[in-house]
């Protein structure tokens, strides 16, 4: 457990913040209830803000994934391993976020 945490901390503070943000969205997205008419503040957050900002988190994760893959080619082996591990985490988070996002919007879209 300690080795995994140390390797995760090696990724840097911005990537850790991005992972924590994505994990918070993973926890909140199942409770998202998009509606066409939003009347209260809580409906605005759960039905408007959360579904609108989830794709932004996905795009930022995909941009960082692109940077990891681009930087991986010219890196030394230790850095290449770190970037590869980061890419796997990004792909996992993006897949879960997309599935949850489409599931939350299925009532409105379909």
Domains: count for the chain: 1
- Distance, in Å, from the CA atom of 22 to the CA atom of 58, rounded to the nearest integer, reads 8
Question: Residue 63 is encoded by which pair of tokens?
Answer: 């941009």
pTM of the model: 0.85
Where in the sequence is the domain holding 75, given as residue range(s)? Answer: 2-109
Instruction: Report pLDDT for 92.
Output: 95
- Distance, in Å, from the CA atom of 86 to the CA atom of 80, rounded to the nearest integer, reads 10
> What does the pLDDT look like over 56-96, one tens digit per residue?
999 999 999 999 999 888 889 888 988 999 999 999 999 99
Instruction: Report pLDDT for 1.
Output: 59
Chain mean pLDDT for the chain: 87
Question: Which is more confidently placed, 85 or 107?
Answer: 85
Instruction: Report pLDDT for 79.
Output: 87
Question: Residue 83 is encoded by which pair of tokens?
Answer: 């970037």
- In this structure, the chain runs to a length of 110
């Amino acid at each position: 457990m300690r080795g995994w945490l140390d390797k995760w901390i090696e990724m840097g503070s911005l990537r850790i913040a991005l992972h924590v943000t994505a994990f918070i969205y993973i926890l909140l997205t199942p409770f998202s209830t998009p509606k066409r008419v939003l009347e209260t503040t809580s409906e605005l957050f759960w039905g408007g803000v959360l579904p609108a900002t989830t794709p932004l988190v996905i795009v930022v994760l995909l941009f960082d994934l692109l940077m990891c893959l681009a930087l991986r080619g010219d890196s030394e082996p230790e850095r290449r391993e770190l970037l590869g591990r980061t890419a796997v985490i990004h792909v996992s988070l993006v897949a879960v976020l997309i599935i949850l996002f489409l599931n939350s919007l299925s009532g409105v879209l379909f």
